[in-house]
Amino acid sequence: MKRIGIIAKPQSSPAAKKILDELLPYLAQKDKEAVLDTDTASIAGLSSPHPKSKVPALVDMVIVLGGDGTLLSVARLVEGKNVPILGVNLGGLGFLTEVTIEELFGTLEKIFKNDFVTDDRLMLKARVHRQGEGVAQSLVLNDVVISKGSLTRMIQLEIFVNRQFVTSLRGDGLIVATPTGSTAYSLSAGGPILYPSVEAMVLTPISPHTLTNRPIVIPNHVHVEVILKTKEEGTTVTFDGQVGFSLRHADTVEIWAADSKIRLIRSPQRNYYEVLRRKLKWGEG
């Protein structure tokens, strides 16, 4: 690995600058070229011609400095590039940004010796169809969420898998999550935890009107279609909780597995079950 991309959360200036002041000289000492996006370069007091969207195509790996939200935004940029991502949490331990600041340089030493393991994470593609025309689309690592507006009492959705009718759902909405996203919004809505390498996605109703509408785990090779039957305005679809789009009556949200996965560099200090225990107090009395 010669060219190392670095993308920091823009709002994390003091913490990011402190680590960049150590990281950039360290990479230079290791004969590595650091490629920073414009925002990260600004935090470091430098200039860069590279917008964030261009960095993954220029490098051999990407270091993300921030939290899980920052990594989610970067994940949408690396589709098809086979560039591994190292997530470094500037605060506490994250589900995706597993490496702490204190562990960063020891982890990099292992990476530069090719002593590291990556987790291949499923991503989903979503497209909104309106009267037969695609009007919005996005790639997601966590989830696609269809939810009611603040003034809408309840929405009605029809759900199909591979053109087969599954159910009519009345409630606050629906979450379609990857295994990675199973520990995010889906979990708080009552969905199951899926191990990251499981080849599946989970459909989790949000506050369903009938208790018989329960979460269901389905294979990742299917196509999911969700049709909005509610005529009131206010329903939205959000992608990874970061990009939103307003839906209209009869809009269809189509969701399927992306052709390629992203590669997250696994922390050598811990495993997935340890992250569950530390983040969720999972299994503790």
Q: Which residues are catalytically annotated?
A: 68
End-to-end Cα spacing for the chain: 44
How large is the C-alpha radius of gyration of the chain?
Answer: 20
Q: How buried is 124 (Cβ within 10 angstroms: 0-12 exposed, 13-18 middle, 19+ buried)?
A: buried
Distance, CA of 122 to CA of 230 (rounded, Å): 31
Instruction: Report how many helices (DSSP H) and strands (DSSP E) the chain contains, helices first.
Output: 6, 19
Distance, CA of 248 to CA of 90 (rounded, Å): 39
Single out the residue of 95, 98, 32, 23 nearest to residue 60, CA to CA. Answer: 32
